[in-house]
Structure 1
Amino acid sequence: MFLRTKAIPAVIGISAFLAASLVSLASEPFDLSPEQSARPRTEKDPALIASIPQRFKFVEDGVFTVGIAPGGTPPIATYATDAATVVGADPDIAQLIADKLGRKLNLVAVAWEDWPLGLVSGKYDAVISNVGVTEERKLKYDFSSYRQGLHGFYVRNDSPITSIKEPKDIAGLRVITDAGAIQEKIILEWNRRNVEAGLKPVEIIYLDDTAASSLAIRSGRADTIFSMNSVQAYQAALTGETRSVGTVNAGWPLTTDVGVVTKKDSGIADAVTAALNETLKEGTYAKALARWSLSAEQIAQSRTNPPGLKKY
């Protein structure tokens, strides 16, 4: 069964929206100050810097220029309380790479659809903006993996559901997901397998925005939501009313990562990969993800141009 809903039903009421807004203003779980005093930092690596081929020319001397597309909510990348500074997990990763390269970080806010042209035309040294590694993108760009691309199952805190790891775990459940997205394709395939196996079908509920989905879970209209793990981790940290019961890689049944994007064959990708692996070893990488509730998305090792998501 498939339900499409554009708004929270009237039974939830206007007061619920007001309450949610007040919670958001009063109990923001992350540091959104422009100063970012708790941002992990590291030291430059002379050997790594020396490994960068001379053919690679940085946009600006002494600076690592990174294109980034700030979203509306944490934790990946958003605007700080000054409405100008970009903060989040991706800016923290960018800072660690800049530190390893011995350079000042310059984050350049860009619309998502504009980063490819900006990178190719030489406006940025790299793009760090939650870009998933795909086989198609690898034809045009190099990647240095830095995070797993995960989708997460989240439930209300008092839900009897404790774990969702495979198709049979969602049989008969009311699942909220995003229409036209990778997560929908995964749910549809899981449901197909369940029906073929004689299990109860899933009731899929489509909602238009994160707030509506969160309220639907908390009000009991749905059993679980399956969406971008980063967004749901933020909602869980913000409200304290939902919890994770499982994650699925965006490349299911294979795996795919999120990567730092650099110009194809420019020569910088291996240095970026090495910088990330240094932060993995020393622990600053883990601190960067932990402060944004993204520890579940850690990788064990950064790789240059790892296997990417194929077209469905």
Structure 2
Amino acid sequence: MKILVTGGAGFIGSAVVRLAMRRGHRVTNLDALTYAACLDNVTPVSDMAGYSFVQADIRDRAALDAVFAEHAPDAVMHLAAESHVDRSIDGPGAFIETNITGTYNMLEAARGYWVGRGRPDGFRFHHISTDEVYGSLPADPAIKFTETTAYDPRSPYSASKAASDHLVRAWHETYGLPVVLSNCSNNYGPYHFPEKLIPVVILNALAGKPLPIYGDGTNIRDWLYVEDHADALLLVMQKGRPGRSYNIGGGNERTNLDLVRTICAILDEKRPRPAGSYAEQITFVPDRPGHDARYAIDAGRIRDELGWRPSVTVEEGLEKTVQWYLDNEAWWRALQDRHGVGERLGTRA
């Protein structure tokens, strides 16, 4: 299968590219190479037959039309997006332009290509989104996000992703474009850009810096290992029902404080401090504006319809992730000078 992956030099997108190539697909990786992208993320597969890279911006419709015409994909996996909540608080405009207008351009380019080829039944446009579009959950563990949960976004980031989800559904209902959607919980794992919680904690710990935790650390997230997510995404793209959405979660709910303590314990074992535990570096900082209390995914639909389950527990995944950062210092050091990395963002509200 020929797959066009947008945002394939980013964290989740590159995991999809690596897995798709290893499974024998042909992949065109379209990425604008903004601050969070890194072509080193796809180095393990970039020399394989069937891989190609195109530097293009999803806000550029003419460039998208050219990519569709040249590479003639059987499916699109649309991951390109601005994705950091704190950055969306400081600068929402980029999120509106990329996540909403960019998705509109992708839909129109895909629709024109699909119609021009005679509306093939096998074509798919897979839009990858987030559970943050659903808003915040109460503490009750019995309550989780399902595919029918009402949208209630709380940040410029989640609002822009909610808007893009609605566009994708509208293009299916109005124009018949064969789409599938997926909404995932928090991802983590190798190649995670060093501005998100888990890599920040690992790298600050190694540098002897404070480990910042927003508020009191009781916010809960459902953690999904990125390679499990890539596996689920390829399955949804190939087997998902057109017009259907699928929630993808790791089934690993943890408070932020518990998560950070687990990372510290792993580091204590793998690279001990001269004295004491890394947990001594934990520091509580003022909370993020509009910080959602809890996310939790009910992944029953993808399990029952497509047979997918996560293969990695959060403890196993964190150990793999910590080890990857310990083994790949050259990768993360090269990214630490990029704009905003290492700074506290999202305070302008």
TM-score after normalising by structure 2: 0.28
Structure (1/2) with the larger helix percentage: 2
Structure (1/2) with the larger strand percentage: 1
TM-score after normalising by structure 1: 0.31
